[in-house]
Amino acid sequence: MIVVSVIFCLFVILINSYFYFAGFQSKSYRIKEGVFGMSVLIMIDTIALALSAIISIIFEVVKFSDSVLVCVIATVPSFIAAIVKMLRFPKLRVKFTNRAIRAMVLFAVIPVALLITAFFVDKLLRAMGIISTLSCIMVIISLLITYPFEKRNNEKYLLSAQKKLKESGVFVIAITGSAGKTSVKKMLNVLLSPLGKVYTTPKNYNTPLGVAKAINEMPTDATIFIAEFGARHTGDIDELLRYYKPDVGILTSVLPQHLETFKSLDEIFTEKVKLLENSEVAFANEKCKMVSLNFPNHTQFFGDSILINKKCNTEGSELTLLINNQQLSFSTNLLGGVNVDNLILAIGVAVSLGVKVEELSGLIKSIKQIPHRMERLVTDKGITIIDDSYNINPLGALSAIDLLKTANGRKIVTTSGFVEQGKNTAQATKILVEKIVQDADIMIIVGNKNKNEIIKNINGRIEYYFAKDISECTKVYSEILRSGDTLLIQADIPVSFEL
C-alpha cells in the first residue's frame, strides 16, 4: 500500500509541475516574471495547500496512526488542483526543448528523493500531501540550479551565431518597435529583392536566441539579413546589440505596449531608440516623434510628410506618395491605416537603400497580406472576415475599427481587450469599448481576462456574446453570422496571459 501511495503522490506532483514548466517557459524562464504572471496557477495550489494542511492537522489532532492513508487523503486536494488546471488551461503545453528536458529531469530528482526518504521517515510520509502542493517551489529550485549551465550554454550558441553572421558578410537590417516589426520585415523582404537575396528571421523570432537560430539556418547565398529585435524589458536591445551589429536600424512604432514590464512610454522609447543609436543608418516612422524628439541626428523619418493621398476600405488601399520628387500612385491589398503606415516606412527605407522608384509599383503589388494582421478573408457564405488577431495594441485596434466602419452590412467585432497594458488597461479598455459601441453592431467578448471591464463599459449599449476562448467563438459565429456581415477579429490572448 505504501508503494501505491508514493506513486500516486509522485504522479500528482509531476502533473502539477508540468503547468509551471509551461508557464515559466512562456515567460522565457524569468523567475520573477513567471511567478507574478502565474497568479491563477499559484492561487489554485494555495487553496490546495490550505486544504492539505487542514486535513493533515486533523489527522494529527485525532492521532490517526495510518501514515499511508494520511498521505493519500492529504494529496487529494493537489490531485483536484491538477484536474482544475487541465480543465482551465487545456492548451497550455510545454515545448520539449533541450533546456526544458534538462530542467524537468533535474526537477524529477527532488520529489523522487523526498518520496524515497518517506519510505523510511514516517513523519515525512505523513507530510507528502502538503509537499505535493509545492510543485511551483520545486520547479523554481530546478530552474535556479540549471541557470548557470544554461547561461554558459546559451553564450556559446550566441557567440557561434555572432561569428557566422560576421563571416557571412551579409548586410544586416534590424527592426524594432512596439508593433509592426513583422509587417515591415515582410514588406522589406519583397521591396529589397532587387538588391540581392533577402533572408529574414522566421515567424516572430526576436530574442537573442531566436535571432541566433535564424542565423544558423541562413542560406549561404543570402546577401541581406533582416531581423526583428524584440524588447519587453529594459536592457533587451542592449543584449541583442551585444551579439548582432546592424548596418541599418528601423523603428516602426512606440506604443503603450508591454507596460507590465516597462513602466512608461518614455522607458519604451529609451530602450527601442538604442537600436537607431547603434546603427550606421537609421529610419523611423514619423509618428514616433509624437512620443519624443530625442532621436539620433542621422535618423531619417517616413510617414505623412511624403503622403499625398490615401484611401482605405475593406477591399484594399490606394496611395499616392511623393518620393525623390516623383509622384507615385499605387494600390495594394493591404488593409488599414496601420498597414499603410508600415508600408510607407518600408517604401522609404527601400528607396533610401537603392531600390529604383520605377520598380516600386510592381514590387508593392506582389506584397501579400500578412497573416493575422488585417488579413482579409471571404467565406463561401459571403461573410467578410478581417483577421487582426495578432499582437493587438490600442492604436492598431482603433485603426482596425475605423476600417470596419467602411464596410457594408452588419459589423461584428470579436475582442479580448488588451494585454500587457499595466495601469493603462482600464482606460484603454474603456476607449476600445466606446469605439466599438459607436461603429459596430455586435460584440463578441473572448476570455475572462478583461470580460468584466468590457461588460461594465458596454453598459447595455450594444448586443454582445461571450466565449471562453477562440475555439468557442466558432459556435457563436455559426449562430449569429450571415451573408453580408463583416467580422473583425481582435482576440488572440495567449494562454500565458491568463495564468
Q: What mean pLDDT value characterizes the chain?
A: 90
How large is the average pLDDT for residues 241-255? 95
Q: How far is CA 257 from CA 10, 108, 211, 261, 428, in A?
A: 41, 37, 22, 9, 11
> Residue 289's pLDDT band (boundaries 50, 70, 90)?
very high
Q: Where do we find the cell 534590424?
A: 174
pLDDT of residue 499: 64
Per-residue pLDDT at 423 exceeds 80: no
Q: What's the pLDDT band for 122 if we cut at 50, 70, 90? A: confident
Q: State which fold the 375-498 domain adopts.
A: Protein-Tyrosine Phosphatase; Chain A (3.90.190)
Query: H or E segment at 243?
Result: helix 236-243
pLDDT at 212: 96
User: How far is residue 283's CA from residue 251's CA, in Å, rounded to a whole number?
Assistant: 6
Which tens digit of pLDDT belongs to each residue from 129-178? 999 999 999 999 999 999 999 999 999 999 999 999 999 999 999 999 99
Residue ranges matching CATH 3.90.190.20 in the chain: 375-498
The pLDDT, as a whole number, for residue 204 is 80
Do the Cβ atoms of 157 and 80 come closer than 8 Å?
Answer: no
Is pLDDT at 35 greater than 90 in this prediction?
no
pLDDT of residue 498: 59
In angstroms, the Cα distances linking 444 to 42, 396, 411, 428, 496 are: 29, 18, 11, 18, 21
- What are the pLDDT digits (tens) for 437-475? 999 999 999 887 888 889 999 988 999 999 888 778 888
- Residue 363 near residue 190 (C-beta atoms within 8 A): yes
pLDDT at 239: 95
Give the list of residues 6+ apart from residue 163 with CB closer than 8 angstroms, or none: none
Cα–Cα distance measured from residue 494 to residue 116, given in angstroms and rounded to the nearest whole number: 38
* pLDDT of amino acid 440: 94
CATH superfamily of 169-365: Mur-like, catalytic domain (3.40.1190.10)
Residues of the chain with CATH 3.40.1190.10: 169-365
Please answer whether residues 179 and 395 qualify as being in contact, where contact means their C-beta atoms are separated by less than 8 angstroms: yes
Between the CA of residue 74 and those of 4, 125, 294, 325, 420, what are the distances in Å?
14, 11, 60, 78, 38
